Amino acid sequence: MKARQAKRLARTVLSVSLLVLISAGFSTISAASGSSDVAGPKSKYVQVVVTPGETLWSIAAMVSGNDQIASVVADIVEVNRLKSADLAAGTKLLVPVI
């Protein structure tokens, strides 16, 4: 009988632990998505994470029209205070939403 109670207690503790872990994950995701938009006086920015192979030009091309890519690249460099055009995977950048 004690073994059955111990198993039931272990299952309950495991279930509660998983629920806490899942809840913490969802709260982290919603906090991250809520804080990724940064409102500026004229423009709005969203935070993006650079994936392998992406360049400033490819990121700018995703958010702008073909005729605005150069100005969006310049904006990304200025807002993020980039010293180089080289981007490492995993880098977080503020990118204008156009």
Architecture of domain 36-97: Roll (3.10)
State the pLDDT at residue 49: 93
Q: Which pTM does this prediction carry?
A: 0.55
- Residue 63 contacts by C-beta under 8 Å, 6 or more apart in sequence? 72, 95, 96, 97, 98
Task: Give the closest residue to 71 by CA, choosing from 57, 53, 90.
Answer: 57
State the pLDDT at residue 40: 44
State the pLDDT at residue 47: 92
Q: Cα(first)–Cα(last) distance of the chain, in Å?
A: 66
Burial class (CB within 10 angstroms; exposed 0-12, middle 13-18, buried 19+) of 30: exposed
State the pLDDT at residue 35: 46
Across the chain, which has 98 residues, the per-10-residue mean pLDDT values are 72 55 50 47 80 92 85 92 91 90
State the pLDDT at residue 8: 73
